[in-house]
Amino acid sequence: AAPITSALAAPAKGLEILGAPNGSTIVLLRLLQSGALSASAPDATFRLWRDTDELRAAIVSGRTSLFTTPTHVPANLANRGLPLKLFAILSMGHLFVISSDASITSFKDLAGKELVGFFKNDMPDLVFRSIARGYGMDPDKDMTITYVRTPMEAAQMLAAGRATTAILSEPPATAAIMMAKKEGRTLNRAISLQDDWKKQHGGLGLPMAGIAVHERLIEESPELLKAMAAGLPGARDWVLSDPAAAGQLGEEKMDMKAPILASALSHFNVVAEPAAKLKPGLVAFYETLLSFQPEALAGKLPPDSFYLDF
Amino acid sequence: MLSLSGLRLRFGAAEIIAGIDLHIGAGELVVLLGPSGCGKTSLLRIAAGVERATAGRVENGFRRVAMVFQDPRLLPWADARDNAAFGLKAAGMGKAERRTIAEAILLRLGFSAGDLDKRPSQLSGGMMQRVAIARAFALSPDLVLMDEPFSALDVGLRHDLQALLRAEVEGAGAAVLFVTHDVTEAVRLADRIVVFSPRPACVVADVTQAPMLASVGAAYEASAALLRRAEIAAALAPPGASPLALAGARERLSLAGKASAARR
Amino acid sequence: MLSLSGLRLRFGAAEIIAGIDLHIGAGELVVLLGPSGCGKTSLLRIAAGVERATAGRVENGFRRVAMVFQDPRLLPWADARDNAAFGLKAAGMGKAERRTIAEAILLRLGFSAGDLDKRPSQLSGGMMQRVAIARAFALSPDLVLMDEPFSALDVGLRHDLQALLRAEVEGAGAAVLFVTHDVTEAVRLADRIVVFSPRPACVVADVTQAPMLASVGAAYEASAALLRRAEIAAALAPPGASPLALAGARERLSLAGKASAARR
Amino acid sequence: MAVPARPLSPALLSAIWGMAGLLALAGAWQWGAMVFGPFVLPSLAETGEAVVRLVDSGKAGPALLATLVHALAGCAAGGAVGFLLGVAGGLAMPVGAMSYPVFTALLGTPPIAWVVLALLWFGPGGGAATFTVAITAAPILFIATLQGMRSRDRGLAEMAQLYRAPAFMRFTDLVLPALADFLIPALATALAFSFKVAVMAEVLSGADGVGGGIATARSHFDLPETMAWIVLAIAVLILADALLLAPLRRRRAGRGAPVPLSAEA
Amino acid sequence: MAVPARPLSPALLSAIWGMAGLLALAGAWQWGAMVFGPFVLPSLAETGEAVVRLVDSGKAGPALLATLVHALAGCAAGGAVGFLLGVAGGLAMPVGAMSYPVFTALLGTPPIAWVVLALLWFGPGGGAATFTVAITAAPILFIATLQGMRSRDRGLAEMAQLYRAPAFMRFTDLVLPALADFLIPALATALAFSFKVAVMAEVLSGADGVGGGIATARSHFDLPETMAWIVLAIAVLILADALLLAPLRRRRAGRGAPVPLSAEA
Ligand SMILES: Nc1ncnc2c1ncn2[C@@H]1O[C@H](COP(=O)(O)OP(=O)(O)OP(=O)(O)O)[C@@H](O)[C@H]1O
Ligand SMILES: Nc1ncnc2c1ncn2[C@@H]1O[C@H](COP(=O)(O)OP(=O)(O)OP(=O)(O)O)[C@@H](O)[C@H]1O
Ligand SMILES: [Mg+2]
Ligand SMILES: [Mg+2]
């Protein structure tokens, strides 16, 4: 773990914070909204990124140095030479198997079933496959997975009754359940992948999403990182204690529907922990990815300095 | 039997053909004479059924109609042989047979073997005209509509084809409606000569005669005589266009010329 | 002064022009006669500088060259007036002025006011030809290359334009190179008549004469005399194409006709 | 044989038939909505309501304007480049032969290859979308213009050469009208693509415009609103096609019955 | 004035110039890679290595084949529909007028609108990609064919009518050769788009093929591999263009110097 090196620095100017389009971003958003960063980054703005290209362009061009992201993204980019560090973990997993088939209650019940997956060969898919292996199942033989690109389409197909079972992330999982309910269909949150993961990894959770920073931010605005470190737990508590207000905030800034986000929050496993503190869980996660697809992390674990502490 | 009765044609407000009756039977060659732009081509197109008259009746009892259009209308992507064989292909004849026939006719019309493979862009004006003629005659039509068909041919070919045409009329009994501006040609070929007025076209003279292919001198005399008839001279060689009346107009033209020269 | 010396043209292996020398000075009208496909158009295109000879020299001392192509080459999207004014526009003349000049010339050539706005697709064959002629003369050129320019015109217009052309040669001193198939026209117009052999073209006769515009009868006599000269008759009206030799060939043609009829 | 009275102008008649075609498309959509349910395809009624909502809320106007600007600016810029290179390629063989595979490659390259580059150069504010549109429109115009140049009438070119028409006049009086037949379909194709590509680029690059609206509606799982955005974009496209290209088509049709360029001598 | 000896055939010459064009494109790429760094554009060398890796590992072959099949099948199916409707539209005004806005709308509709529909109908195994390609190719061919029909030579049609040419012969002997000038650029455009759309649809629908490879490489942030996939797809596209369309172009050029359809009477 690398402690943040302190230096005298002016407030960060024109900081653009990019938020990943998943629910845990709401914590960072709350932090910003609460004014906790107004001293160290007075004119900070917030924007969603929708595609990794957009994120990459923003980082390379220097427009952004602070963003929320799935945890494997900064690890991969750091291994490829972009000086990124993981600052904090915000979500301990938000992957579920949702099904209208009431007989599916545990992972093993998926044997012989058809299901819809998304982001083939990407992190959610790899997590699912790892868990399947853990139960001695071959995801390519013991079940039939058809893939769509994004969780939106998977949720749409579930809600339309065109698919029985799907792997989904939050909040699309909640959205699918709510949409189906409108149509009079019941969808069950059959399996929580993070629970199964935890079981298979000796109690280490699934650190799925967090906050990453560019080295230049560490050098130029240590004050900002300090302010974040100080404010994050409070922001997390606010989100957990007032889902309705959080939903409202998400609707304003994150293109999400307030009721969906609010009811999805309880399935988010929202945390606010320093990356260094969760390093064992992260390493376990990364090693799993490496065992499946080394390219997903550019072939190696990120260096120790990658995990920041506060 | 081709009968046009009470034929009228308008393009918008402009009257082109103002009531024409014309009847042609088998074995008859009728030549149409008339000033440029009077409506001869339009009449042929109506007779061919590719243009609708504004009023009047068209009755066509002939089965095999061929036409030599005023422009050659050849397929640019096909060679001379295939263009000449177009009508035969349309009639369902096999490839080898129709090519043999087309070749024979083209060679008869003065093509050399090497020219058979040339596409229209590689042919001279007169050669294109001959391909269009070959296309029409390959069908051995019983009605042939010909719009200034020999205008781009040299004297030798022209006389040759005139003889060939008369032979078709007399031998095979074809009916021919023939447009030309060459009065001598009209006199050499025609059983009947119909002269049109300037636009809107109506018939100003309808002369039945014996074709004068045999004697060049006689044809010349007859055509001179035709042009001496007042109503025909008025239509084909109006006094306003006589060389004597040119002086004033020429001034205008050279004036125009001067103005343009000044600009250069 | 236009000088063509030792001119040769080949398309691939085929020889089209086999060594021609031709010189034309100001105020001279030279008519080219020759069988269809012999290379007259090709020679004119070389003289105009739009085609390159395979061998030989082209020297053109004239400044304003105009050409009436064998086909009208009008812009399909422009009306008669604008087509006639094309050369003037190319020379940089303003819109109003060039249109006035083009109109005056077209009216002089027998256009009615209503026809000035017509596009080529709405004009008759002879009208298109007249637009092309107007385009050439609007420029008051000092060299005019004319490729069968009057072939689609009626007798009246043709005589009128012949007179006009002579006036341009005699009055304005223009040089004219004129291709026609009409021997009488050649005799009426020419200061000199050059006769080409069949392809590959070479000069078989070069006759200097006085133009016979004035008398139709004299022109007829002179043209008949020309065609009686052996070398000219051989080029323009070869014995093989005389009506007498037709019988055998006609059989072939009607045979072809029968075959096609059988299929229908 | 009197010609029957024609009460409707050809343009009006064709517009009416066009409406009929769009109605048939709407019918197919409604049928699909009924068969597949609202989560695959929302119904016409729902979508219509969403359209009204978007228009009323004042969101539609600025977004459509932004997309229109991206599409038209990109189409114009790229189209101009493609057109000019096409003309140049028609005049000088090497230019055409060199550009052809390059434009084919550009046309076939998924935008993924340059999205980041475009974002770097032009920023996320719509510049990237405009660039992506331009790079799509250029090859369409280039390929069509090149073919048009190759198909042009040499006889007319010869005539113009003889009369020493200056280059600019040859371009305006000969080349351009002759190219119209090729430019009209190419422009129609490029314009329609421009809208699609602009919208998709906006979705990907997080710009505003219709693409931004669609991205939001999709993350709201609001299918009727998604389709409403698309319907609005298509409506603007058809309007743009009618306003910008129909005059060209009318002018071309106004040449009268198409004839060979130099017919009937 | 002897014509200088020409040692190179026009086709070869144009292929050489084409190579030069692609080299220039590669040069621009390399320059971009140097200026913007590996996170924007990987270098040619890195990409080349990735190409070799993909080919050696045996991944490239099947993926390229799958994409080729999606692209060609979709292009052929959609192109045929567009072509036939275009011909019909040229013969019967209502067909053309009805179809025109429908095809414009289809061309302008972002695939988002029917991704799910296509998945439902055709399944994720490439069917959806083929469908998306078809729906892109059809309007391109339709618009061009319709214009070609409208621009065709009435004089020749009249001639064929007079000689009572049967409908099929008119189609093969008159319509088709006259349409060639319009079909050649439309086919080139449609083919290039087919590859791009097939790849993007594969990315979206999770199918295999190049799109699958790109999706994976992208989620790995493996830029050289992403570009390698794109380069491979473009290579196949240029090959397909050369093999499928060049014969058409040569045949068209073989008509000799283009002349007006009925010139020099
Ligand atoms: N591009 C070409 N390729 C091959 N041969 C050609 C080409 N252009 C013309 N020719 C040939 O050149 C010869 C002369 O053609 P040209 O047009 O000069 O004849 P012409 O004397 O004007 O005939 P006409 O009186 O029939 O107009 C013809 O035999 C023609 O077939
Ligand atoms: N589509 C059209 N619209 C308007 N007027 C037309 C159209 N087609 C032909 N005309 C007019 O009809 C008249 C007759 O044309 P047509 O071609 O029948 O003349 P023609 O007697 O064959 O003349 P030429 O001897 O010069 O060939 C011309 O004045 C022409 O301007
Ligand atoms: Mg006529
Ligand atoms: Mg000629």
- Separation of alpha carbons D232 and D62, rounded Å: 12
Q: Do E264 and C52 touch (CB under 8 A)?
A: no
Instruction: Return the best residue to mutate from C17, C20, C42, C179 for the ligand 1 pocket (most ligand atoms within 8 A of CB).
Output: C42
Categorize the per-residue pLDDT at E222 as very low, low, confident or very high, splitting at 50, 70 and 90: confident
The amino acid sitting at C45 is R
Tell me if C98 is assigned to some domain.
Answer: no
Tell me if E20 is assigned to some domain.
Answer: no
Q: Is E161 strand, coil or helix?
A: helix
Look up tokens 């957990």; give the residue. A240
Tell me if E237 is assigned to some domain.
Answer: yes
Tell me if C169 is assigned to some domain.
Answer: yes
Contacts of D264 in chain B (CB under 8 A): 41, 69-71
Is pLDDT above 90 for D159? Answer: yes
Give the model confidence (pLDDT) of E5-52 as tens digits. Answer: 555 677 788 888 889 999 999 999 999 888 888 888 889 999 999 999
pLDDT reported for residue E52: 94
Q: Do A156 and D39 touch (CB under 8 A)?
A: yes
Ligand 1 atom closest to the Cα of residue C38 is 21
Look up tokens 């074995």; give the residue. B27
Interface mutation target, options E116, E221, E222, E227, chain A, most CBs of A under 10 Å? E221
Q: Is D8 on the interface with E (CB under 8 A)?
A: no
Kindly report the number of other CB atoms within 10 A of residue D177's CB atom. Answer: 17
pLDDT reported for residue E38: 82
Of D4-13, D184-193, E49-58, E156-165, the one with minimum mean pLDDT is D4-13
The closest alpha carbon to A292, from A144, A125, A148, A150, belongs to A125
pLDDT reported for residue D3: 47
Tell me the CA–centroid distance for residue C127 and ligand 3, in Å: 9
pLDDT reported for residue C118: 92
Determine the Cα angle at E208 with ends E204 and E209, to 5°.
Answer: 100
**Over residues D23-38, mean pLDDT:** 88
Give the model confidence (pLDDT) of A99-116 as tens digits. Answer: 988 888 888 888 888 898
pLDDT reported for residue C243: 42
pLDDT reported for residue D218: 81
Greatest Cα-to-Cα distance within chain B, rounded to the nearest angstrom: 63
Distance of CA D68 to the CA centre of its chain: 11
Instruction: Return the best residue to mutate from B81, B83, B122, B153 for the ligand 1 pocket (most ligand atoms within 8 A of CB).
Output: B122
CA distance E151 to chain C (A): 12
Q: CA-nearest residue of chain A to E203?
A: A149
Contacts of E256 in chain B (CB under 8 A): 119, 121-122
- Pairing relationship of beta strands A95-99 and B2-11 according to DSSP bridges: unpaired
pLDDT reported for residue C148: 93
Is pLDDT above 70 for E4? Answer: no
**Residue B110 beta carbon below 6 angstroms from any ligand 1 atom:** no
Residue nearest to atom 17 of ligand 2 (CA): C124
pLDDT reported for residue A149: 82
**How much of chain D, in percent, has pLDDT values that exceed 70?**
92
- Separation of alpha carbons C188 and C166, rounded Å: 9
Give the model confidence (pLDDT) of E183-209 as tens digits. Answer: 999 999 999 999 999 998 888 777 788
DSSP for chain D, written as a single string: -PPPP--S-HHHHHHHHHHHHHHHHHHHHHHHHHHH-TTTS--HHHHHHHHHHHHHTT-HHHHHHHHHHHHHHHHHHHHHHHHHHHHHHHHSHHHHHHHHHHHHHHHHS-THHHHHHHHHHH-TTTHHHHHHHHHHHHHHHHHHHHHHHHTS-HHHHHHHHHTT--HHHIIIIIIHHHHHHHHHHHHHHHHHHHHHHHHHHHHHHT-SSHHHHHHHHHHTT-HHHHHHHHHHHHHHHHHHIIIIIHHHHHHHHTT-S---TT---
Ion ligand 3 residue ranges (Cβ < 5 Å) = B 41, 70; C 124-125
**Residue B13 beta carbon below 6 angstroms from any ligand 2 atom:** no
Residue nearest to atom 10 of ligand 1 (CA): B122
Kindly report the number of other CB atoms within 10 A of residue A45's CB atom. Answer: 12
Give the domain extent around C8. Answer: 2-64+141-213
Q: Do E230 and D112 touch (CB under 8 A)?
A: yes
Tell me if D245 is assigned to some domain.
Answer: yes
**Which among A161-170, B124-133, D123-132 has the top mean pLDDT?**
B124-133
| Strand (E) or helix (H) holding B22 | strand B14-24
* Closest ligand to Cα B201: 2
**Residue C32 beta carbon below 6 angstroms from any ligand 1 atom:** no
Query: And the tokens for D78?
Result: 């790229």
Chains adjacent to A (≥3 CB pairs closer than 8 angstroms): D, E
Q: What's the whole-number average pLDDT of chain E?
A: 85
- Separation of alpha carbons B229 and B227, rounded Å: 5
Q: Do C36 and B181 touch (CB under 8 A)?
A: no
pLDDT under 70 in chain B at which residues? 238-264
**Residue C22 beta carbon below 6 angstroms from any ligand 2 atom:** no
Q: Which of C41, C52, C125 sits opposite E1 (nearest CB)?
A: C52
Tell me if E25 is assigned to some domain.
Answer: no
Contacts of E263 in chain B (CB under 8 A): 120-121
Tell me if D28 is assigned to some domain.
Answer: no
Q: Do A120 and E38 touch (CB under 8 A)?
A: no
Give the model confidence (pLDDT) of E136-145 as tens digits. Answer: 999 999 999 9
What's the CATH code of the domain at C195?
3.40.50.300
Is pLDDT above 70 for D20? Answer: yes
Is pLDDT above 90 for A275? Answer: no
Q: Do B66 and E263 touch (CB under 8 A)?
A: no
- Give the single-character DSSP code of A112: T
Q: What is the pTM of this model?
A: 0.88
Interface mutation target, options E40, E64, E100, chain D, most CBs of D under 10 Å? E100
Kindly report the number of other CB atoms within 10 A of residue E133's CB atom. Answer: 30
Q: Do C53 and E2 touch (CB under 8 A)?
A: no
Q: Do chains A and B touch (3 or more CB pairs under 8 A)?
A: no
Q: CA-nearest residue of chain C to E155?
A: C121
- Separation of alpha carbons B5 and D179, rounded Å: 44
**How much of chain D, in percent, has pLDDT values that exceed 90?**
43
Look up tokens 């009746």; give the residue. B57
Tell me if C253 is assigned to some domain.
Answer: no
Q: CA-nearest residue of chain C to D163?
A: C87
CA distance A149 to chain E (A): 5
Residue nearest to atom 7 of ligand 1 (CA): B122
pLDDT reported for residue E223: 87
Bridge partners of A68, per DSSP, are A211
More confident residue, E264 or A212: A212
Tell me if E258 is assigned to some domain.
Answer: no
Tell me if D9 is assigned to some domain.
Answer: no
pLDDT reported for residue C182: 92
pLDDT reported for residue B243: 42
pLDDT reported for residue E8: 65
The ipTM is 0.87
DSSP for D219-232, written as a single string: HTT-HHHHHHHHHH
More confident residue, D116 or B133: B133
Tell me the CA–centroid distance for residue C37 and ligand 1, in Å: 5
Q: Is E190 strand, coil or helix?
A: helix
What's the CATH code of the domain at E62?
1.10.3720.10
- Separation of alpha carbons A121 and A130, rounded Å: 12
Tell me if E193 is assigned to some domain.
Answer: yes
**Residues E209, E130: contact at Cβ < 8 Å?**
no
**Over residues A63-70, mean pLDDT:** 89
Q: Which of B48, B49, B73 sits opposite E262 (nearest CB)?
A: B73
- pLDDT (tens place) for every residue of chain C, 264 residues total: 899 999 999 988 889 999 899 999 999 999 999 999 999 999 999 999 988 899 999 999 998 899 999 999 999 999 999 999 999 999 999 999 999 999 999 998 989 998 999 999 999 999 999 999 999 999 889 999 999 999 999 998 998 899 889 988 988 888 999 999 999 999 999 999 999 999 889 999 999 999 988 888 888 889 888 888 888 888 887 665 444 333 344 344 444 444 444 443
Ligand 1 atom closest to the Cα of residue B121 is 1
Kindly report the number of other CB atoms within 10 A of residue E12's CB atom. Answer: 10
How many domains is chain C partitioned into structurally? 1
Tell me the CA–centroid distance for residue B37 and ligand 3, in Å: 7
Tell me the CA–centroid distance for residue B67 and ligand 4, in Å: 22
Interface mutation target, options B45, B46, B50, chain E, most CBs of E under 10 Å? B50
Give the domain extent around D200. Answer: 42-253
pLDDT reported for residue D66: 92
**Residue B222 beta carbon below 6 angstroms from any ligand 2 atom:** no
Q: Do E159 and B77 touch (CB under 8 A)?
A: no
- Separation of alpha carbons A277 and A279, rounded Å: 6
Q: Which of C115, C127, C256 sits opposite B104 (nearest CB)?
A: C256
Tell me if C224 is assigned to some domain.
Answer: no
How many domains is chain D partitioned into structurally? 1
pLDDT reported for residue B252: 47
Q: CA-nearest residue of chain E to B77?
A: E255
Contacts of A295 in chain E (CB under 8 A): 217, 220, 222, 225
Tell me if B163 is assigned to some domain.
Answer: yes
